[in-house]
Structure 1
């Protein structure tokens, strides 16, 4: 029975049918849900593209909230015209996701009888990661594909998976992702710290970052090329951010805190005693948290832990630090988890079982929070405030787990190999993707 299930799970027709069905559902749900989880796509992104096509190039002729390359997928989604922009967006996202899915599910050794032979260790791990990803996206819901974040996630997944064997390509990919949205910059640091051929990755990333900047400057961007930094500095505490739960519960208890809509940022935020100070401190705290994780990783690497064991928990710890200490806390941030967990499943198997399961719970709770019951949260419904609080506590738990895994990595490959056997199959280092 299990053998039949394994064969069914590895069947290309089954895999791609599930992939297509998932993306059709996410697109349909995103475009028809009453809370408009694709609102950023069909209103904001489309409006930005139309504005730029009319002659005012965002990020070049004026400031913009995103790095310059974020405009590329937004523009590509206009291929079907403004009336079908949402569908065009899903096509762009579907193509990007399909490239990663194909990488994970394609049999590595072609030839006569390849389809009939048993799956090797690395193939089983990649297949497990592919199915995990589909279920994770389903649990997270339409917001997983209804923001620019999914494009960065695809590029980061590719960069992390090829990092060990193709550091130059990894550096280029992660730098490109950073010019779409800033968070992948932390992944560049993770790769540089853990790889033996770190200078290749560092130089490739630096050259790519500078090359994109040079193109933007040549187009006349000037300081607008860096406007995505200044445009975010005035944000307050967004409702979904982990630290915001204090003001939400205060508002529910009848205190002087309240939820309000910021017309400039176009998002719901909290205000109350100390909220302005918290908003001012969160970014420095985030920087300190990321720096602390990176310094801890340097210590672990110097203890002799191999990159194969350090990079996945380090990437996960960095992603969670960026989420836990973020004053924004948008629901789409959860899709960032895809990159380190897919890398962990592919390279470490069973060791990433609990992070992978915890990510399922966090994704499901996030979809309940947005878009399913977002109005209830804004209305300070105590049940939904409890759900939001639980999701944020689990985010902190995931950060603690990632740091603990990073600490365990210092023991060396022998211990980690034992942890890598089990539900996902195989051992670390066997059958790893070679790009």
Structure 2
């Protein structure tokens, strides 16, 4: 009976994946017109332009929108593996394959003792909530590397470290996967892989680390938590403006640098809390590293100067890995992330013009989405702390001498 039920569940999972992913492909291929701005222009225009530059043997040194670590070049160049397809179509197909790889990893992991198939369901049902943006950015590819790293961590720490180190050179955030890992082999492998790949790019391709300057000069993106200050301030005389800047729609004007600095301060505070947790935590289980990675990425996403819709792909992927473990403490934060995903597709791309205009609908969407993410981050941090950091223990009881009237206990 259990085998039959498991097969039925897998069939339903694959059917749902097939239907939802077919819909996503039809959207990015423009067979179905998804409401809002065209989300595929990043691939067909920006990525394609980078592709042409990278083929010449250099990074896009004069393009401030290139704000990614050097290994991101591999994702941009990857459509060359399918030369029989047009660039954008090839990219969408490869994004679909990365999505399928994540599903295969989660299904396999969910069959092990102590694991659960819920993780695979979170991925299959959660990813399409974000709309066609998930296939129009390379974040699903990075997420596939991160999921593979976390699932490898229990038995193969060196492999986990290598994948995390490589992932960090794709988009930085996978470095946080190591936060809850205790085995030195994982850290050593990550350092060796990261240093080796970075050195290879630095030696062979000019401008491998120009992205650091471009990233430093970014402002406050209109979808970030700090941006809510200016969305409201626009209705009370603030004379700044909203412009396309450094590849995203950002606020420019008075006090923007203050809010951007405040965001960096919050990121620093989040990092300090994570370091404190790591120093005090003593109870580590199989799922602790996964819960810690999910919490860390949540905290850094919430405090960032930029909360682009594709960042939610990372959170859905890590949420799915958390729920692969039956003992994970992240069920409520995962539910909040999925709810935030529903609101995210409404604020971008469906009603993005309301967000840019800072009208009541746009402000409400951002307040709800960002509020859900803040709540998820705080609850995840609380659950991680309670599960791993020992509380105040009662003082040991001092044995009292036996009374004269009591008979001694024979052994």
Offset from partner CA, 1:272-313 (integer Å, 9 cap, x none) = 442122223423431331232132132123xxx114243233
> How many angstroms apart in 2 are the aligned matches of 1:17 and 1:44?
34
Correspondence 1:256 to 2:234: no
Pairwise CA distance, 1:363: 0.4
Partner of 1:91: 93
Correspondence 1:406 to 2:407: no
Structure 2 unaligned blocks of 5 or more: 391-411
SS of 2:305 mapped into structure 1: coil
Partner of 2:9: 9
Contact 1:240 1:328 in 2 (8 A): yes
TM-score, normalised with respect to structure 1 = 0.81
Change (3 A) 1:299 1:358: same
Partner of 2:343: 365
Taking the TM superposition and a 5 Å limit, the aligned residue runs for 1:383-402 are: 383-402=361-380
Change (3 A) 1:137 1:144: same
> How many angstroms apart in 2 are the aligned matches of 1:318 and 1:159?
16
Residue 334 of structure 1: which of 307, 312, 327 is its match? 312
> How many angstroms apart in 2 are the aligned matches of 1:189 and 1:61?
35
> How many angstroms apart in 1 are the aligned matches of 2:28 and 2:378?
32
Partner of 1:50: 52
Partner of 2:409: none
Pairwise CA distance, 1:23: 2.2
SS of 1:348 mapped into structure 2: coil
Contact 1:259 1:268 in 2 (8 A): no
Change (3 A) 1:317 1:291: same
> How many angstroms apart in 1 are the aligned matches of 2:260 and 2:194?
29
Pairwise CA distance, 1:5: 6.9
Offset from partner CA, 1:77-115 (integer Å, 9 cap, x none) = 24445972222112211222222211222499xxxxxxx
TM-score, normalised with respect to structure 2 = 0.86
Contact 1:67 1:181 in 2 (8 A): yes
Correspondence 1:291 to 2:272: yes
Contact 1:257 1:271 in 2 (8 A): no
Structure 1 unaligned blocks of 5 or more: 109-118, 413-435
Change (3 A) 1:295 1:107: closer
Higher relative helix content: 1
> How many angstroms apart in 2 are the aligned matches of 1:2 and 1:341?
26
Offset from partner CA, 1:305-360 (integer Å, 9 cap, x none) = 11424323311221111111100111111111134322221123574332222121
> How many angstroms apart in 2 are the aligned matches of 1:297 and 1:411?
9
Residue 271 of structure 1: which of 241, 252, 259 is its match? 252
Partner of 2:176: 186
Partner of 2:188: 203
Pairwise CA distance, 1:17: 3.5
Taking the TM superposition and a 5 Å limit, the aligned residue runs for 1:28-427 are: 28-32=26-30, 33=34, 34-53=36-55, 55=56, 57-58=58-59, 64-80=66-82, 84-106=86-108, 122=114, 125=116, 127-191=117-181, 195=182, 198-221=183-206, 224-251=207-234, 253-263=235-245, 265-301=246-282, 305-349=283-327, 351-410=329-388
Offset from partner CA, 1:205-263 (integer Å, 9 cap, x none) = 01101110221133143xx3222221111111000001110110111x24214442134
> How many angstroms apart in 1 are the aligned matches of 2:109 and 2:243?
50
RMSD: 2.7
Contact 2:243 2:252 in 1 (8 A): no
> How many angstroms apart in 2 are the aligned matches of 1:2 and 1:294?
43
> How many angstroms apart in 2 are the aligned matches of 1:248 and 1:82?
46
Contact 1:168 1:204 in 2 (8 A): yes
Partner of 2:400: none
> How many angstroms apart in 1 are the aligned matches of 2:23 and 2:86?
17
SS of 1:204 mapped into structure 2: helix
Contact 2:177 2:289 in 1 (8 A): no
